Amino acid sequence: MKQSIWRNKKGQIQGVDFALAMVIFMILFAEVIVLSLSYIEPKFQNLDDQAFQSQANQISEMFFGSTGYPSHWEYNLSSQFNSFGLREIGSTNLDANKLSRIHSRGLYALDYDNLKGNLSQERNFGFQLIIESLFDVNGTFTLAQPNSTIDISTTVGNCTVWSFLVGPFSTILYSNRSVTDNAGDFTTTFPMTAIPNGFYTLVIFAQSKEGYFAVDVKNGVFGTETYKRLKLLVQEQENNNGLAEINTENDGTLTTLTAVNVFPFKIGEESSGNETISITSPTTNEVLNLRMPTNGTCVTILTGLNGVNEYSRKYFVFPTQLSDKFGTKFGDDILPNNVEIFKTEKLVIIRQCIFKAVFYVWPE
């Protein structure tokens, strides 16, 4: 009898042990599932990040490593092309004429949203491209009689600086080539016998001892400034013969349209640093041709006059610099928060000038 009771109690104990074991097993199994899910989710996130980074690399390569197709798409002013790219044909340099087409304030500028659709149809993304000098130059001018003043400062010392003051009707009132001091400063004065109404534009080119270039442009006006829908696009002629092809647009009310191209010159060759052209009673669209250096940098200044008192003026830096300084960054102005941003930063050569390029891409 005692033996039978013992057997029953032993069976009850085994059943309790099994139940406890099952409970513990279920708890551990649930923990494993939770831990597995928390481990797998970041893996999927990482795969998604890797896919975006791969696509961002491809988009960056299109900008810097492709000529686009057709390879001379930049001269098709209708903005039609099959694929986008900024590389120069037969070179690893960037093409200044292609860059002119993404000058955000230029005539025939490519539309940002349309270009995004051309670059990728798989997912939405945003981008921003900045191209700027490796150092900075800043110029100011004060017009006064009998003498006016130009002040120049560079962020590195001992730079060669070229200064041009362009007055109304694109007249070169003053040109000079000098060198900044160790602190990067230079000041000069010049006579002014009269200050007629119109635009006055100071153009400064600076070259560092290492050969890097920087540009500054400052506008001032006496009289009435008007818009007149004045816009321009500056490119080299397609055969690269040392002539600029300047496409222009205005509202059709101008009585005179003038343009001047200024660029660095050798000492004693001031007249070789500029050329001017003037058209009376221009149509709404005119194409002008002016001499330009086959390599290096230049600035084109376009002036419209309506009657004797209304003035319009626009300028175009060639090669285009896409920066805060000139208000010409290409793409979204503000980088987004709380998203992964892919960044490419490199030195690029454009017309034998070295610039810093920064390219951002992010998912939308």
Determine the pLDDT at residue 87.
Answer: 96
Starting at the edge strand found earlier in the chain, the sheet holding 330-331 runs 330-331, 125-132, 353-363, 342-350
Residue 124 tokens, joined: 């939405």
Q: Are 228 and 304 in contact (CB under 8 A)?
A: yes
Determine the pLDDT at residue 333.
Answer: 82
pLDDT at 314 over 70: yes
H/E element, 204 = strand 198-207
Nearest in space to 163 (alpha carbons), one of 179, 176, 147, 150:
176
Q: What is the pLDDT of residues 290-313, one digit of tens each?
A: 999 989 999 999 999 987 777 899
Query: Measuring CA to CA, how many Å separate 345 from each of 132, 185, 279, 361?
Result: 12, 30, 43, 12
Determine the pLDDT at residue 200.
Answer: 96
Residue 202 tokens, joined: 């100071």
- CATH ID of 137-318, from 2.60.40.2550, 2.40.30.10, 2.40.30.20, 3.30.420.40: 2.60.40.2550
Pairwise CA distance, residues 315 & 249, whole Å: 13
Pairwise CA distance, residues 304 & 199, whole Å: 10
pLDDT at 358 over 90: yes
Cα Dmax for the chain: 135
Determine the pLDDT at residue 13.
Answer: 52
Residue 272 tokens, joined: 């070789």
Q: In terms of residues, how long is the chain? A: 364
Q: What is the pLDDT of residues 97-119, one digit of tens each?
A: 999 999 989 999 998 888 888 78
**Residue for token pair 């110029």:** 139
pLDDT at 36 over 90: no
Q: What is the pLDDT of residues 172-230, one digit of tens each?
A: 999 999 999 999 999 999 999 999 988 999 999 999 999 999 999 999 988 888 888 99
Q: What is the pLDDT of residues 40-78, one digit of tens each?
A: 444 444 545 677 788 888 889 989 999 999 989 999 997
Determine the pLDDT at residue 33.
Answer: 55
Residue 296 tokens, joined: 């290096």
HSE-up (13 A, CA, CB side) for residue 39 = 6
Pairwise CA distance, residues 210 & 1, whole Å: 108
- Residue intervals of the chain classified under CATH 2.60.40.2550 are 137-318
Q: Where do runs of H (alpha helix) occur along the chain?
A: 2-65, 96-100, 112-119
Determine the pLDDT at residue 31.
Answer: 60
Average pLDDT over residues 319-338: 91
Query: Measuring CA to CA, how many Å separate 31 from each of 36, 43, 359?
Result: 8, 19, 45
State the average pLDDT for the chain.
87
* The CA-based dihedral angle spanning residues 9, 10, 14, 19, taken in that order and rounded to the nearest 10 degrees: 10
Residue 197: other Cβ atoms inside 10 A: 13
**What three-state secondary structure class fits 151?**
strand
H/E element, 357 = strand 353-363
Nearest in space to 313 (alpha carbons), one of 174, 148, 182, 199:
199
Percentage of the chain modeled with pLDDT above 90: 62
Determine the pLDDT at residue 269.
Answer: 85
**Who has greater pLDDT, 167 or 334?**
167
Angle among Cα 240, 298, 105 to the nearest 5 degrees reads 95
Q: Specify which residues 249 forms β-bridges with.
A: 231, 285
Pairwise CA distance, residues 299 & 316, whole Å: 6
pLDDT at 4 over 70: no
Q: What is the pLDDT of residues 114-171, one digit of tens each?
A: 888 878 665 688 999 999 999 999 999 999 999 999 999 999 999 999 999 999 889 9
